[in-house]
Chain A
């Protein structure tokens, strides 16, 4: 079984450009989470999506960042007009269900974004 897939693995963008990060959840999983990891830090929650729905984007910066999880295709995290501070590793996780208590989240290998 393929795990969570993310691409690209490494992405270099100049300041002001757009970055698009893709995440394909594990087969059978319909819940996707995006986390950001700055150097030497733990992961920070950004957004939680289900198919065609943003459930919680409380961890997303108010500007320039957006996420979607369309009915068909991967989830996409989009960063417009990137700045140096956006340089980080972005991880996607998926889970089969959200229940009580929270189900295990499986993480992808991450996309390392470097803004020059």
Chain B
């Protein structure tokens, strides 16, 4: 099957700086993308999603960008805080396709 991949398995960020986590996907039929945050010992927590008819969506301190031309997805976290330390996964799905495909994850560590 096709997979969702992430650039850079780890990211170290100074507290207060902005973080950018990247994700490459290969299934051009995917039209729904989600970012999840997973803290140690917990299940994935929904952060933000975006449909393929959009190229940008903003939430609280987070922004997701979608570039369908190069099949690239990114998550920007503004003013990164210690509580943002976690593994971040991008996941993709398609219309009428409930199966989410996850990438391997990027571990974000926030330095005080």
Main SS at interface, chain B: strand
Interface size on A, residues (CB 8 A): 28
- Which of A38-46, A61-69, A78-86 participates in binding chain B? A38-46
Tell me the smallest distance from the CB of B88 to a CB of chain A, in Å: 11
Supposing A48-B99, A56-B99, A107-B43 touch, asked if A102 and B104 sit within 8 A by C-beta, the answer is no
Q: Which of chain A's residues 29-87 have a Cβ closer than 8 Å to chain B? A: 31, 33, 35, 40-45, 48, 56, 58-59
Query: Per-position contact with B for A94-116: 1 when CB-CB < 8 Å, else 0?
Result: 01001011101111111000000
Which residue of the partner chain, among B95, B96, B98, B100, contacts A43 with CB atoms under 8 Å?
B100
Question: What is the bound-complex CA distance between A95 and B98, given in angstroms?
Answer: 10
A101 touches B32 (CB 8 A): yes
Question: What is the bound-complex CA distance between A58 and B98, given in angstroms?
Answer: 12
B97 touches A102 (CB 8 A): yes
**Can you list 21 pairs linking A and B with CB atoms under 8 Å apart?**
A4-B43, A33-B99, A41-B104, A42-B89, A42-B103, A43-B44, A43-B100, A43-B102, A48-B98, A95-B98, A101-B31, A101-B51, A101-B93, A101-B94, A102-B32, A102-B100, A104-B46, A105-B46, A107-B43, A109-B42, A109-B43
